[in-house]
Amino acid sequence: MNRIDFKNYKAKFVEATAQVLEAEHTENLDEAGFPAYSNPNPLMSFLFWERIRRAMQHIEKKGQLDSVLDFGCGCGVMLPFLSQQAEKVIAVDIDLEPLRRLEKYISFDEKIHFLDSHADIPHNSLDQIIALDVLEHVDDLDKIFAELAQLLKPGGEIIVSGPTENIFYKAGRFLAGPTYSGDYHVRNIYDIQKIASKHFKVKNLATLFFPVPLFVIFTGEIE
């Protein structure tokens, strides 16, 4: 996806998430990332959307995929893109109500299957798993990584992003306002990466941004 196409993709989601929030701003919309992806501040908007762009760039290099999972899909920001990259897209989140509200403004492809759990996904069935800015909320992460690893085919890959939770990150969330408090984060991205290394061959994809690391994106491969 070139920068013009990404700009248009972003603009569509920014408008849609803003419209949902304008209609009714609820706590579950905050946790689904609606305020982040519709943030009117240019710097904050860039910070949140650059992670999406970097993940998309990496996925495109893989070529056409058979089946992918967006784990903790939130507001569904990756779903239209993933539906172009894969024959089957599974979107999992414990609360799908925010996505249902977004469907008033954005149409999701019929190939996208919405689930509230990954429990019934067959083992060795996925080419790729996307877990962007969600695993910092998970308590028993070792168990979740073990389960996700079982869902991937040999050679399959997981893409993970998350916050560093350092002093610069916390200062940014404070300046961004109360919906970015981050108090519900269980761990930072470095803790996540350490746990992931028990189940995957981990490789750093990007650190955003030098010299002040706020977010890290890494991949984990099944050998």
Quote the pLDDT of residue 48. 87
Residues of the chain with pLDDT under 70: 166-184
The owner of tokens 């959307």 is 49
Quote the pLDDT of residue 136. 93
Quote the pLDDT of residue 182. 45
Quote the pLDDT of residue 150. 98
Estimate to the nearest angstrom the gap between the alpha carbon of 57 and the chain centroid. Answer: 14
Strand stretches in the chain, DSSP E: 65-71, 86-92, 112-115, 126-132, 152-163, 201-208, 215-221
Rounded Cα–Cα distance for residues 118 and 93 (Å): 9
The secondary element (H helix, E strand) that includes residue 42 is: helix 42-61
Cβ neighbours of 181 (radius 10 Å): 13
Whole-prediction pTM: 0.91
Quote the pLDDT of residue 169. 61
Q: Who's near 107: CB < 8 A, 6+ residues apart?
A: none
User: What are the tokens at 37?
Assistant: 């992806």
Structural domains for the chain = 3-221 (3.40.50.150)
Q: What is the DSSP string of 2-29?
A: -HHHHHHHHHHHHHHHHHHHHH---HHH
Quote the pLDDT of residue 44. 82
